[in-house]
Amino acid sequence: MQAAEGSSGFGESCLMLTKLSEMKEGIIVPPADLELPICDHCNLTCSHCNHCSPALSPWMARPQQILDDLTCLAPIYRPKRVKILGGEPLLHKGLVEILQAVRESGISPWVFITTNGSLLHRLDPRVWDLVQEIEVSRYPGVLSESNLEKTRQTAQERGVRFTVVDYSHFRANFSRHQNLDSDLVFRIYRNCKVVFLWGCHMLKDGWFFKCPRAAYLLPLLGKEASLDGLRLEKTEDFQSRLLEYLNSATPLQACSHCAGTLGRLEPHHLGPRAAWKDLSLDRPVSELLEPGGLT
């Protein structure tokens, strides 16, 4: 962890702690995980879903595209872990082929799946040989301990880490209304843990995103996700452009529709799918923020 001042380009007024991507022995080392969404859709409809999955049409990643993208990235970028997620990743019928592609790329020794757990009963047994960890995001009323017990036992037998993280609340996050207060947009971005602490990078369909939310929010608002992403290229200067993009002090386009990690904590609930967009995006950003959260 390092102070932002003097290292991030934020200037003297920004004193928050950040974790940035660094060059080590010729390779970019990001703060944490590389996220690989393998399907957009989900069987649940959580309010404030960060990937907007309840409002998205079905989409599934192709194993060959995953292999091509990771093979391109692996020589220049080395995440600690690769996180397979969605939407709900267990909806992907080619999950085994996807995992084989990730392993073949050699980009990280630790591959794990994050799932809502509701489909674990139909997990392909071959998956146990291909992952180091399965993480369940558990939401109120969706899973009981008895639903998880069999998978927990199998994980123990197969030497795979099995973790369950309970989420009773989500933070309000997105607005369809553009936040025109550029100072507020900058301060939300500057305080955003997604980019500057957690380092949740994402690779999707040939594009690299330093914020996964941007990849989903812009298309939902009728804009091109590419406005906030970087196209993977096998060019000599790609690594330096990637590092500059990752550590840039300039907010993304999506930040003007987002409360970052400063949104109000609201109880998790599953809403009607058809109304998800209206219910989740209607408030202006200023009304999404937790009072007193900004520095």
Least distance in angstroms from the C-beta of 277 to ligand SF4: 13
Angle, vertex CA 80, rays to CA 77 and CA 81, nearest 5: 105
Question: Pattern of binders to ligand SF4 over 256-275, x per CB under 6 A?
Answer: --x-x---------------
Strand-pairing partners, residue 201, are 34
Q: Are 50 and 200 in contact (CB under 8 A)?
A: no
Q: Which residue, among 169, 204, 197, 184, has the nearest Cα to 258 in the 3D structure?
A: 184
SS (H, E, C) 169-198: EEECCECCCCCCCHHHHHHHHHCCHHHHCC
135 in contact with ligand SF4 (CB under 6 A): no
Question: Pattern of binders to ligand SF4 over 143-182, x per CB under 6 A?
Answer: ----------------------------------------
Question: Pattern of binders to ligand SF4 over 211-240, x per CB under 6 A?
Answer: x-xx--------------------------
Q: Which is nearer to ligand SF4, 74 or 219 (CB)?
A: 219
Question: Pattern of binders to ligand SF4 over 93-122, x per CB under 6 A?
Answer: -----------------------x------
Q: Which residue, among 95, 87, 110, has the nearest Cα to 34 in the 3D structure?
A: 110
Q: Which is nearer to ligand SF4, 46 or 102 (CB)?
A: 46
- From residue 208, alpha-carbon distances to 16, 77, 83, 115 in Å are 25, 11, 14, 22
Question: Pattern of binders to ligand SF4 over 62-91, x per CB under 6 A?
Answer: ------------------------xxx---
Read off the tokens for 57: 């049409």
Least distance in angstroms from the C-beta of 116 to ligand SF4: 4
Output the DSSP codes for 225-284. Answer: GGGG-EE---STTHHHHHHHHHT--SPPGGGGGB-TT-BPEEE--B--GGGHHHHHH-S-
Candidates 18-26, 120-128, 187-195, 284-292 — which segment interacts with ligand SF4 by CB under 6 A?
A: 187-195
| Residue from 38, 49, 67, 172 in contact with ligand SF4 (CB under 6 A) | 49
Q: Which is nearer to ligand SF4, 130 or 217 (CB)?
A: 217
Q: How far apart are the C-alpha atoms of 226 and 209, rounded to whole Å?
A: 9
247 in contact with ligand SF4 (CB under 6 A): no
